[in-house]
Amino acid sequence: MTGTKKILLAAPDADSRSLLRNIFHDNTALYEAGSSFSALMFLQRNPDTALVVLQIPLRSSDSLETLIYIRLSPWLINIPIVALAASEDEKSRLRIQKLGATEILPWPTPPEQLQQRIASLLQALPPQTGELPGSLAHQMYTLSQSASCGICVYELLPNHTIETIFFNQAYARLCGRTTAEYAALVTNGTALKRTIYTEDQPLFQKMIESMTTSFQPVCKTIRLQGKDDSIRNISLTAKAYAKFDGHILFHTISLNLSSPASSASSLSHRALGDNAFDPLTDIYNRETFSQETTRMLNEHPGREYMLVLWNIDRFKVVNDLFGTPVGDNILVQTAAHLRDQLLGIGTFGRLEADSFAFCLPADLFDLDRMLKEQIRLCSGFGIQYNLMMHTGLYLTRDPHIGVSQMCDRARMALSTVKGNYIQRYAYYNEDMRQTMLTEQQILNDMHRALAEKEFVIFLQPIYSLNFDKPISAEVLVRWQHPQLGLLPPSQFIPLFERNRFISEVDRYIWELTCKYIARRQQEQQAPLPFSVNVSRENLASPTLADELLALIRKYQIKPFLLRLEISESAYIENPIQLIRTARHLQEVGFKILLDDFGSGYSSLKMLKDIPLDILKIDMNFLEDIEQSSRAAAILLGVIQIAQRLNIVTIAEGVETKFQLDFLRTTGCDNIQGYYYAKPMPVEKFDQFMVNPPRML
């Protein structure tokens, strides 16, 4: 058998693992796991595993959960799984097949037969790319093991009957039964009828049936009925994940028990209708939140209220790293937290994506308590990632302002602290309103500005410390606005990034730059590379390399003259996409620069992963070197690491003679900053390059 592909032997029994180890002794890429948790942890670290051999002893819930969670992962859904089943019962084997096993063999199996079957499966596998993601949403497994969370898999039969295929001990406990008691209900076909409250059974049926076409996760509050007829509310998240002979399997995680007040939520559903609620979190949607908040304010016209907007910082990264089900779980938990904390004293809802709003009497609002609750909530999501919430606050003093506008003002306040890891909240003030009006004018004018060529390029020289002369330049955009004057990029680029207009501006600047490089060639000026920014939006485009190649062919310039700057934030948001794109661009001849290293979430892992030619070190590293020996040591260390990786360095933001002299001692290759030259229009740059100043 080949030893080049990884095989995981997942067997809870040590003797079985020993026997399997002897069968596959000639395979050098053999790994073992003794529990569901350790198997999933291995797959998280090794998503390029070629095949899983999974032993399923009699009455084993743990091994079946391993099978389910592998099939739930979008990254592992197609990995072959050979199930070694101790049971010879046909119904048990059929259940294992339905849950996702590629092949089922009896255990124990003759060694020769098992070797031949594994070899055949490995030979049929497609070549591995080596570019699989390095993370897996294993937190779902942790959830399924907690006391208040369970997992159940249902099958929707052609006659619309819902049949239970699998459940774990935690799920039975949530239904008020022991494992044996719930198994008996499953056997006689009464599990759902006896455990789901009678009035909610149609809702559950509708939830399952609606996913036969959408295949989107659904979250609902369902009432469960115990064997003592007690009623409890529980949040269920269901997902359709597999088809078997035309039947559809549904995986359901019982995320948490709802508070007793959740019964009021059921009453609200009946009063307002399902369309008034967010389908995932089961709290008010944007429209209903606005309506109910308006009603509350109108009923108490003399009372001040605090409208609060929550946003989960960099939530998209959570979905990318851990998967949508984990992200959905975080949203559901956040909604449940608001429900538990606020029901009865205010309104709350999910506005969109990861934005939540609530409104309550101002005299009942406790900012310190809210901030502490946010920290507690974020630390309880169960993922190995530092999540943070930012908050915008608006005090409702003006009764004539609509709730939608109040939310806009709270969002304005939130935008001033978004991404700030020290200040996590902000109150709205009128200065923000003026800023909003200016931003709105910018957004209204952007298409006209592009059509009328109001965006212009400024150039900032980059000096070589070895030769003390300009060896390249960075291209920066300015907006020559007819009413507002010359606008720096800080006033419009963040807006364009949010509404994706940045991709159009990028392309316009690339073309201006190529045209300028072509003009310099025609005038027989010395070749000088120019670096342009590539936004995150364009980095995600599959046609990026083709567009850039078409541009340089159009203007008959070499790829090395057009350098491409990417920001470290693009790596944080989508590392796999950025690495793939950067590698492709390098292969066709472009030089890749990583901009602003040190400005945000820089890590040495970025230097290891991203195929870089040039590293631009942000001025933040330079700010404290005169007072801090540690800052100087860190900067020196980064430069030395870059040298060992054969990466050229540029220190940007150099403004003082002290900084320049220090950088000369570090081995830094190039510098950029006001000490040499500010960004300047093309005409002034041409004059500057005739006799550039020297700073020796």
Q: Is the pTM of this model over 0.75?
A: no
Same domain, 418 and 307: yes
Structure tokens at 406: 């109040």
Taking alpha carbons only, the member of 75, 78, 217, 80 closest to residue 137 is 75
pLDDT value at 256 more than 50: no
Of 138-152, 261-275, 521-535, 569-583, which range is least confident?
A: 138-152
What 8-state DSSP symbol labels residue 254?
E
Structural domain ending residue among the three candidates 428, 452, 470: 428
Give me the CATH number covering residue 458: 3.20.20.450
Same domain, 391 and 286: yes
For residue 311, list its beta bridge partners. Answer: 355, 390
Cα separation of 114 and 105, whole Å? 8
Mean pLDDT value across residues 635-650: 92
Expressed as residue numbers, the domain containing 22 is 7-136
pLDDT value at 277 more than 70: yes
At 487, the pLDDT band (50, 70, 90 cuts) reads very high
Single-letter amino acid code for the residue at 353: A
End-to-end Cα distance, the chain: 66
Same domain, 617 and 501: yes
Give me the CATH number covering residue 355: 3.30.70.270
Same domain, 608 and 485: yes
The answer to whether the CB of 67 falls within 8 A of the CB of 60 is no
Q: What is the pLDDT of residue 514?
A: 97
Same domain, 118 and 216: no
Q: What is the pLDDT of residue 643?
A: 92
pLDDT value at 517 more than 90: yes
Give me the CATH number covering residue 114: 3.40.50.2300
Same domain, 669 and 556: yes
Structural domain ending residue among the three candidates 428, 453, 469: 428
Report the DSSP pairing between strands 455-464 and 670-672.
Answer: antiparallel
More confident residue, 410 or 222: 410
In a domain, 239, yes or no: yes
The answer to whether the CB of 671 falls within 8 A of the CB of 463 is yes
At 631, the pLDDT band (50, 70, 90 cuts) reads confident
In a domain, 434, yes or no: no
Same domain, 176 and 119: no
Name the average pLDDT for the chain.
82
Same domain, 297 and 387: yes
Cα separation of 267 and 288, whole Å? 15
pLDDT tens digits, one per residue of 37-73: 677 767 766 777 888 888 888 766 777 877 887 776 6
Same domain, 185 and 80: no
The answer to whether the CB of 235 falls within 8 A of the CB of 282 is yes
Structure tokens at 196: 């789901």
In a domain, 590, yes or no: yes
Structural domain ending residue among the three candidates 401, 428, 455: 428
Single-letter amino acid code for the residue at 341: Q
In a domain, 242, yes or no: yes
Structure tokens at 609: 């992963």
Give me the CATH number covering residue 161: 3.30.450.20
pLDDT value at 262 more than 50: no
Q: What is the pLDDT of residue 146?
A: 38
In a domain, 436, yes or no: no
Q: What is the pLDDT of residue 475?
A: 97
Same domain, 172 and 226: yes
Counting the structural domains of the chain, the total is 4
Same domain, 453 and 542: yes
Q: How far is CA 307 from CA 297, 355, 413, 434, in A?
A: 11, 13, 11, 20
Residue 602 phi, psi dihedral angles, 5° rounding:
-60, 145
In a domain, 273, yes or no: no
Which range of 176-180, 311-315, 680-684 scores highest in mean pLDDT? It is: 680-684
In a domain, 270, yes or no: no
In a domain, 178, yes or no: yes
State the DSSP string of 221-245.
EEEEE-TT--EEEEEEEEEEEEEET
Write a three-state SS string for 28-43.
Answer: CCEEEECCHHHHHHHH
Which range of 88-102, 349-363, 433-447 scores highest in mean pLDDT? It is: 349-363
Same domain, 131 and 115: yes
pLDDT tens digits, one per residue of 301-312: 888 999 999 999
Cα separation of 252 and 416, whole Å? 39
